[in-house]
Amino acid sequence: MKKNRGLFVGLFVAIVSTTHAEEAAKNAYMIEKFDHNGDRVVTQEEFLESAAERFKTMDVDGDHAIEQAEFLQRYAEHSHSTTTDSGAEVGQRVFDKLDENKDAQISEQEYNQSRLKWFTEADKDNDQRIELGK
């Protein structure tokens, strides 16, 4: 359950703009959640493997897409609203951002593109690795 909560926090963090301190916190979060081999580095490969696993857990009915209802249900179950908006409002904004073609579902391609964008934004030196202090 804690792992899934991190998923939704991560989605929210990926959408808002970040300051330097927030970038450091984002990198620390990524290392905590996605460093599978314990080397305190998250490679792009590790990150995308985790993204594929998370997509499968969110795709409750197994149809290779996350429908709006699936997403909002999972978001409500595993998130904490950190703004004055309700969790449902934040969840809807996150969903709308991920649903690029506005078909009321997030395809694997849309999801993977958003995750890759998030990783790339965090990878300031473009070495396909996220490390603390970079």
Whether the per-residue pLDDT at 81 is higher than 60: the answer is no
What would the mean pLDDT of 86-114 be, rounded to a whole number? 91
Dist. CA 104–CA 36, nearest whole Å: 32
* Distance, CA of 76 to CA of 51 (rounded, Å): 19
Residues 53, 11, 24, 124, CA torsion sign: positive
Say if residues 42 and 32 touch (Cβ distance below 8 Å): no
- Domain residue ranges of the chain, discontinuous segments joined by +: 2-131
The pLDDT of 82-97, averaged and rounded, is: 78
- Give the mean model confidence (pLDDT) for residues 63-86: 78
pLDDT band at 23 (very low <50, low <70, confident <90, very high): confident
pLDDT, residue 117, reads: 93
pLDDT at 16 > cutoff 50: no
CATH of region 2-131: 1.10.238.10
Task: Please state the rounded mean pLDDT for residues 73-92.
Answer: 72
Distances (CA, A) of 45 to 6, 70, 102: 19, 26, 28
**Average pLDDT, whole number, for the chain?**
82
